[in-house]
Structure 1
Amino acid sequence: MTLRRTPLPGVGTQYDLSTREGRHLSVVAHQDGRRFLGFYRPDDPDACQATVPLEPAEAAALAGLLRDEDDPGAPAHPSELELDLVSERVQVGQRSPFRGRTIADTLARRRTGASVVAVLRRTGAVPSPRPDFRLEAGDVLLAVGTSEGVRLLTELISGGDAGRGPGDDDQD
C-alpha cells in the first residue's frame, strides 16, 4: 500500500491510495469541507472511473465505518466519547442584525457556547476568523458546538434573542 498527499493550492488536499492489489483511489478534501472520492481503472491508474461527492457529515460517517474497531490505538469515534458536538453552516442573511458588524459584536460563544471556526464568503474561505472580522450578508459561518448551541447561534445570527443572559443589553 502507498499513500501520497498532494496540496492543491486554493482547493484543498488530494490523498491518493494504491492498494497492495494495485487498485487506486483518491480523496480530494476541499477547503470548504466537501470531500470527493475518486475511483480509478485497474488497467490505468491515472484514468478516473467515477467520483462520489460527500458532504462533511457523510465523509465523517464513512470514515467511522472504515475505522478498525478492533484496533485499540485507533482514535475513538465521537459517539463513543458521548460528545454532542456538531458542525453546521449558519447563513448571515440580509436581515441579520450582525450584517456589517464584527464577530465579537455577536458575543456568540458567551451567549450560545458555539464557536465560529470559519467564514465562507463568495471570495473564499476565512479559517479561524479574528474577533474583528466584519460579517456581510451572504456569508456562511461554519459553527461548532452542541446541537443546542448551534441552534441558538443560528437564531442569534438570524435576529432572534438566542442566548441572551442576565445583564445583556439590547444594543447588540
Structure 2
Amino acid sequence: MDVKESDLPGVGKKYEIEIGGGRWLVIITHNTGMRELHVKESEDADSEKLLELPDRLARMVGTILEGAYFQPVESDHVETLLTEGTLLEWYAIEEDSPIVGETLESADIGKRTGITVVAIQRDDDVISAPGADETFEAGDTFVIVGDRESCHAFEDVLTGEE
C-alpha cells in the first residue's frame, strides 16, 4: 500500500492512499490540526470532500480506527508506533507461556527486556499501571511500551525463546 505525501504550503500536508477499485482516500492535515477527508474515484479525478474533523475528534477517531479500544480480529500481537522508535504493543498471554503464574516483579520483565507494562486486560477488566504484584495469567492481554528490540525481547520471554 502506497501513501503519497505532499506539502501544502501555508496549509499543512496532504496524504493520498489507494483504497481499492482505483479509488483514493485523501487526508489533508491542516497546520491548525483540522483534518479533511476526501475521496477520489480515480487517481486523476477531482476529489469529493467527505467530512472535516477538528484535531481532538480526529485523534479519537484515529485511535478507534487503529484498534486501541477494540480489536475486531483476534490477534496475539498488535503494534502501534507512538514516536520514532517507540512502540505501544498488545500481547496475548498463551497458556503455555513459561511466565504464566509469575508476577511482574518475579519475572523481572523490565530489566530482562527493557519494556514497561502500561496495562493488563483481564476478561472485561483493565488494570492500568499494574503494580509489581500483578501476575501473568493465561488469556490476559498485556499492553506494553518499548523500542522494537525491547518488544522482541518481551515476545521471546513470552514464548520461552530468550
Interval of TM-score (by shorter of Structure 1 and Structure 2) = 0.5 to 0.7
Structure 2 counterparts to residues 24-103 of structure 1, below 5 A: 25=53, 26=57, 29=60, 35-36=63-64, 53-56=65-68, 78-79=83-84, 84-103=85-104
Greater fraction strand: 2
Provide the residue aligned with 1:50 in structure 2: none
Shift in CA distance, 54/87, structure 1 to aligned 2, threshold 3 Å: closer
Shift of 1:29: 4.7
Q: Deviations over 1:75-97 (max 9, x none)?
A: xxx33xxxx21111122100012
Normalised TM-score (structure 1): 0.49
Q: Deviations over 1:44-98 (max 9, x none)?
A: xxxxxxxxx333599978xxxxxxxxxxxxxxxx33xxxx211111221000122
Structure 1 unaligned spans of 5+? 1-16, 18-22, 37-52, 62-77, 163-172
Provide the residue aligned with 2:13 in structure 1: none
User: Which 4+ runs in 1 deviate beyond 6 A?
Assistant: 57-61
- Does residue 1:146 correspond to 2:113, yes or no? no
Distance in 1 between residues matched to 2:93 and 2:149, nearest whole Å: 19
Provide the residue aligned with 2:6 in structure 1: none
Distance in 1 between residues matched to 2:144 and 2:79, nearest whole Å: 17
Distance in 2 between residues matched to 1:58 and 1:123, nearest whole Å: 21
Say if 1:93 and 1:137, in contact at 8 Å, map to a contact too.
yes
Say if 2:79 and 2:90, in contact at 8 Å, map to a contact too.
no
Distance in 2 between residues matched to 1:112 and 1:137, nearest whole Å: 20
State percent identity of aligned pairs: 24
Q: What letter matches 1:130 in structure 2?
A: G
Q: What letter matches 2:147 in structure 1?
A: T
Secondary structure (helix, strand or coil) at the match of 1:35 reads helix
Shift of 1:123: 2.2
Shift in CA distance, 58/102, structure 1 to aligned 2, threshold 3 Å: closer
Structure 2 counterparts to residues 99-138 of structure 1, below 5 A: 99-138=100-139
Distance in 2 between residues matched to 1:96 and 1:58, nearest whole Å: 20
Distance in 1 between residues matched to 2:80 and 2:155, nearest whole Å: 23
Say if 2:117 and 2:142, in contact at 8 Å, map to a contact too.
yes
Normalised TM-score (structure 2): 0.52
Aligned residues: 103
Distance in 2 between residues matched to 1:58 and 1:154, nearest whole Å: 12
Root-mean-square deviation (Å): 3.2
